[in-house]
A and B are shown apart, each in its own frame.
Chain A
């Protein structure tokens, strides 16, 4: 038997062993979800407390960004933990804001503050906040250079990506083109 034929058969076996799952299993599992999922230590405890206190989501977002700045100060913005927390914070802010009628400009203001902080650290950072169309989610809001010569890019819809210098040029070119149109 050829290896290809064997792999094909294994694929068929996968299909042939799809067994129906008992109805109610998912509910059984969900009933065991603890009321308080505690994942984070350190700075994250503060964030969880903020959420538990049911303060305004926007206020929580502002505090999270301040916490990010504090962490960046403590670790020089280069530690992985800080980076993880930053990534999570951005996603959470995005999620929360989508759940209420909040003004994006508040977040943009916080981003502007982050720009000031990174620039103060001597990073190669560029901020387009006053220039871009905030309705265009794919517009680059801010980018800064990483030690490995790649660039961290934050888009106006608060997505974050790490891109190469070539990709960044392409993103900027597209932005210019869209603006010209």
Chain B
């Protein structure tokens, strides 16, 4: 048998280097020569599968979970590309994320800014809502299972490890370290639903904000007692710059009583977005629009009604956002156009030779002929800000590189608008 940590090749994948090791598996960075990309491969230690009583159950659960994860295609969930169960070698082939996990931001000397934490948790809540809608509960949310890269990019990983660990052994296997992130109902072995994940995300948020766990105990027994009985101190008692609204969100996510906890992910993420926008935050945050802010804004615009979460995240990433004061000229007739805009807030007017053609309100696009006509396109009219506005610009070049489904949604949205405008024009023509 191959000794641990010395694999040179896993199936058809040449190993680049070892990335890490857990209690039941180790992870390697490998090369996928067929698809020409880096992948992370998690290899289960053979012992867990060779157990005469449990081996076959583990194997079956392993495959079931892999099948499940293949369906979770979301920008903030780590993709599983393939799963292989051989006699002696079981492994999952996953998306490789360059960067570590959130673990390193959970101690007082390396905390993230509060806004960034809120952003990260917001993305987690949206991703887990997506999973929940597909009937998937993670059951093992903790900082070590949230990969992190860039400013606030996250990918949730290890879906279903809790299930693989199976039944009554969950606590021991998953919680080799500690049950710190488990919900009270999980510790009591009650039936679980998505709200156990809501609780665990609450604990992750607590740890990222305060730099410490909500409950600290000398041993697991005391810890379990506290999780099921004690109230944690508010995160702001360890870090005064945490606003009250954020304290309240953590408290509600971590409520022991299910009736007091967020009943669904939507409420949780809505509160996070609201906290981000609140006055208190606004004073300190820069003019820049945060990802969560962008996402929430897009989600509310009718133009994006039929976009999925994944597609909206694409839009949030490819677009540039800015505020424009009343009076600013945004587009001029005759200028070449290589981007179009969607008005997020405020009012703009469209004029031609000084004659008013149209006044646009939040949610309406302008300059879209640059995208729709495919050819080199000069602006056909002037666009000026009428009332202080927030403007989303989408470069046509970047949209052309977006996923097919995202472009398709733009096309459908524009189509509705074109049909509407054509109907209006025909009406005016027939009225003349």
Whether chain B is bound by chain A comes out as no
B interface with A by C-beta (< 8 Å) = none
